[in-house]
Structure 1
Amino acid sequence: MAATSSVEETLTAAIAQLESEATLKKSIREAAEPVEDIVRQATAELNRLHSSAASQHEAIATKALETIAGAHSHWVNIAALIPKGEFYRYQFAVAPMFRSLVTSIALARFVLRDELVPKFTAATLMGLQGETVGELEVTSDDYLQGVIGMVNELPRLSVNSVTAQNFALPSRIAAFVNDIFASYSMLNLRNDQLRRKFDSLKYDLKRCEDVVYDLTLRGLAPAPSA
């Protein structure tokens, strides 16, 4: 009888813990919904780059970064739900948003500054600063996947810039993507998902170079700087 009682207590405790974790996961998902809205809004704003004149690109990129900065208070709410020392148990709930935001931030910063945004800067721009965000952090995996997501957008921007008579941007894009591809090529990627995403970079680079090649044949590519 004692053994039966012990088994029942053990299973009851395990079930109670499982239900508690399920409730917490649901709460975290609900707290993350406003950030998901921000992700969609920033993506939609940056999508306007593909159909806008070059003169509007700076304003579009700036507006997207301002939208993303509004996520800070929501990160605070999410961080308050995650038990201390257990961020990696609940990382699944925020990692997709981190990656999407890195993609948007990296694209905006390329448009504004012609540079690859560092991981720390990306985290700061998405509102992950200060003690109030607890242990939330953009991991290297999130950052690297987010950067690849940004590169995946650039061939389309290159093609559409030609349509908008912006013949200088494709060369900038091709050089930028080439630098990123070369850097990723030197990494020993043990993460299967990251390695598969890296494989897409060679195709993105080729598409970008094809645009520049076509412009060169037509005499529309800008002369290389000395």
Structure 2
Amino acid sequence: MADLAPVPTSASASAPTSVDSILTSVISQLETEQNLRKQLREAIDPIDDLARSAATELNRLHSAGASEHSRICERALETVGKAHPLWIEVGKLLPKGEFYRADRSRPRYNFAISPVARSLVTSIAFARFMLHDELVPAFTAANIMGLGQDETGELQLTADDYLLGVIGMVNELPRLSINAVTAQNFALPVKIAAFVNDIFASYSMLNLRNDILRRKFDSLKYDLKRCEDVVYDLTLRGLAPAPANA
């Protein structure tokens, strides 16, 4: 619901503000807010299309051979990079100083921005893990998707959206681990399990005040167990690769 601006009071008791003028002011403010919401959704739709395209491209990792993984990830990152000029247009729509609510508890327009930002982080983190065996830092993810630059104004990748996007990436890894075994790629599940374990350990140290983050964190426990189960099964069958320092 829109944050209503205070209605000015009359300085004279003999000339009170009419009910009609009060309601007219409120209705006008609501209409302005609704129009802005509509414009934001329309401006973000093309970015959402790119996010879906990148996710669709990365979904091919589950059925592609290991030799194709790098090309798939690079194409996905190229798709994400096309969002930069689109974010600039979104930034132009935001009233100056209104990216966050007055108490800075959360972005004022996160209903439109957060879902697509999280999806892009998920794709970026997934691709970077496959390409570089690393967790992409938040500032790098923001730069890849085109946020956090001067041209995008006050728009930025929030900590909550980054953390939720990373969890979204982890949610994809147990499935990839299982499919890797099917493709006779026994090294990848071991790498995935170690990576997920590191992320789970790091998240466990955070003081998660966001309710959504706390609920999503619980999913990491199950993802880690599924990844470890795959490695355990490989070990029992003598298929797990020997440790590098063995």
TM-score bracket for the superposition, by shorter chain length: over 0.9
Instruction: Supply the distance in 1 between the matched residues of 2:192 and 2:145 (Cα, whole angstroms).
Output: 24
| Between structures 1 and 2, the one with greater helix share | 1
Query: What is the match of residue 25 of structure 1?
Result: 37
Structure 1 match to 2:234:
215
Which structure has more relative contact order (CA 8 Å, sep 6+)? It is 1
- Report matched runs for 1:106-121 at 5 Å: 106-121=125-140
| Matching residue of 1:45 | 57
Alignment of 1:77-88 (within 5 A): 77-87=89-99, 88=107
- Which letter does structure 2 place at the counterpart of 1:214? D
Question: Partner of 1:71 in structure 2?
Answer: 83
Name the counterpart of 1:9.
Answer: 21
Distance 2:111 2:56 in 1: 24
Q: Which amino acid aligns with 1:197?
A: K
Query: Counterparts of 1:144 and 1:130 in 2: how far apart (Å)?
Result: 20
What is the RMSD computed on CA atoms of the aligned residues?
1.1
> TM-score, with normalisation over the residues of structure 1?
0.97
Measured after TM superposition, the shift of residue 130 of structure 1 is 2.7
1:161 aligns with 2:180: yes
1:139 correspondence with 2:158: yes
What do residues 102-134 of structure 1 show as CA deviations (whole Å, max 9, x unaligned)? 001000000000000000000000011431101
Q: State the distance in 2 between where 1:84 and 1:92 align.
A: 18
**Any conservation in 1 of the 2:91–2:153 contact (CA below 8 Å)?**
yes
1:48-70 CA-partner distances (Å, limit 9, x unpaired): 00000011000000000000000
What percent of counterpart residues are identical? Answer: 68
Which runs of 5 or more structure 1 residues have no equivalent in the other structure? none
- Kindly provide the amino acid, as one letter, of the partner of residue 152 in structure 1: N
**Gap runs ≥5 in structure 2:** 1-13, 100-106
- Deviation of the 1:225 alpha carbon: 1.4
Partner Cα distance (2:218, 2:172) in 1: 15
TM-score (norm 2): 0.89
- After TM superposition, the structure 1 stretch with the greater mean CA deviation from structure 2, 185-194 or 201-210, is 185-194
The alpha-carbon deviation at position 91 of structure 1 amounts to: 2.3
Query: What whole-Å deviation, never above 9, does each CA across 1:58-109 have from its counterpart, x for those lacking one?
Result: 0000000000000011101100001011112212211111111100100000
After TM superposition, where is structure 1 displaced by more than 3 Å over at least 4 residues in a row?
none
For 2:231 and 2:200, the matched residues in 1 are separated by 17
Could you tell me which of 90, 107, 110 is aligned with 2:109? 90
Partner residue in 1 for 2:195 = 176
Q: What residue is the counterpart of 2:4 in the other structure?
A: none
